[in-house]
Amino acid sequence: MSLSAVKAGRKVRILKVAGEEGTKKRLNTLGFVAGIVITVVHVSTGNMIVAIHDSRIAINSEVSDNVLVEEV
């Protein structure tokens, strides 16, 4: 499933980051790599805040649609 389908409070493991090369590189730099477990902190009108490592990052639905995840 895509990250955009995950509800707040859920933990998921990143399986794959898809999309344009620029988007993939940016997400990789932020720590969005396969195997990492992240927590969806807040969801609001297509935007979300996720906790990854020791940071919280806001992403929009275009970006979250390109992150494939599985629940843990």
Domain boundaries, the chain: 3-71
Q: What does the block give as tokens for 57?
A: 């990052």
- Say yes or no to pLDDT of 46 above 90: no
Please name the residue that has the structure tokens 């493991």. 13
Q: What is the pLDDT of residue 65?
A: 95
Q: How confident is the model at residue 42 (pLDDT cuts 50, 70, 90)?
A: very high
Q: Which two tokens stand for residue 8?
A: 């707040």
pLDDT band for 14, please (50, 70, 90 cuts).
very high
Cβ neighbors of 53 (< 8 A, separation 6 or more) are 31, 36
In this structure, what are the phi and psi dihedrals at residue 28, rounded to the nearest 5 degrees?
-60, -40
Domain 3-71 has CATH 1.10.3720.10: no
Task: Give the mean model confidence (pLDDT) for residues 20-44.
Answer: 96
Question: What are the structure tokens assigned to 17, written together?
Answer: 């980051």
Q: What is the pTM of this model?
A: 0.93
What pLDDT does 22 receive? 94
Nearest to 69 by CA among 7, 11, 15, 24: 15
